[in-house]
Homo-oligomer: A and B are copies of this chain.
């Protein structure tokens, strides 16, 4: 244990110049020693003196100054919105961050609070990130993409329902999820379908295309579709169940396993038989969905792994020339259980 620094407040952080002064060498030497620069030869005694001085002062290099000088950084920007996303999504998000860290990137989360799309893009560009991974529900225009590119972003990748011009895209077709659920219900003989639309704001990016998907599947078979707004709490679910018979529905897509389970339980408590009177289908294939009785039918979504996406980022960063690719990676399929 070396001597502790004298005071922690007020005194500015030690710089390489301080280290140089204490070690009795030039600042350049300090830089060479601490970065282990191969092309320059420094004697062993000097190396030791520098290292000891750095240790004693508690010297830590200044990342901003370093990357300013270097002209580039290894920062990946992840714009985020304030939406209550499900466990599937948040697992994906954590995986992505962790994988990027493993590849030696610095992950910066940046929320765009009350800015429009281009304002937000400017704010992101100020950080000069080497890559930007936009997770759908955050808006991004072609103008914004161009701005990011000019500010040095090697890779701009959008993950979401549709591709944005000029970016690599990981398209996750939410329409398909709805289509599969709708087709499944129709196939099981249902003709009057409800579709749960979460009352929580911010989820429209997912819920609207899913509704469209159900509509498409239903129309092809002459079935009708009714959207049902629902907040994720017990009271509204009970209220919805209480007027269920008036709605006259024989099948419902619950948006989500979580919303589907909430509704299914409320229906059962209101005396509606599932699946006999009304069939229920969710999506995400969560473990909890298998714990209720009847077990919940669901649309399994095989989301791209966070690690896989991180590798795409890394590849595009290292070969910036590559033309924008469109990866269609969302293998979803119905898992039929007892609720439908």
Contacts and interface: CB of A to CB of B under 8 A. Distances in A.
Interface of A: 1, 4-5, 8-9, 11-14, 58, 60-68, 71, 73, 80, 82, 84, 87, 90-91, 94, 97-98, 101-102, 106-111, 113, 122, 125-128, 143, 146-147, 149-152, 232-234, 258, 261-262, 264-265, 287-288, 290-293, 320-321
B60 A68 contact: no
A108 to B, nearest CB: 5
A58 B216 CA distance: 43
A82 B98 contact: yes
Contacts of A111: 97-98, 101, 107
Contacts of A73: 64
Contacts of A67: 64
Given A106-B110, A150-B14, A290 B234 contact: yes
Given A4-B146, A291-B261, A106 B108 contact: yes
Interface centre among A64, A94, A258, by most B CB within 10 Å? Answer: A64
- Identical chains bound together, number: 2
A125 B60 contact: yes
Contact of A63 (B91, B127, B288): B127
Nearest to A108: B108
A327 B168 CA distance: 46
A100 to B, nearest CB: 9
A6 to B, nearest CB: 10
Contacts of A87: 87
A111 B109 CA distance: 12
A112 to B, nearest CB: 8
A126 B58 CA distance: 12
Contact of A64 (B61, B68, B146, B320): B68
A87 B243 CA distance: 31
Q: Which 4 A-B pairs have the closest CB atoms?
A: A101-B111, A64-B64, A8-B149, A63-B126
A267 B62 CA distance: 56
A104 to B, nearest CB: 9
A97 B80 contact: yes
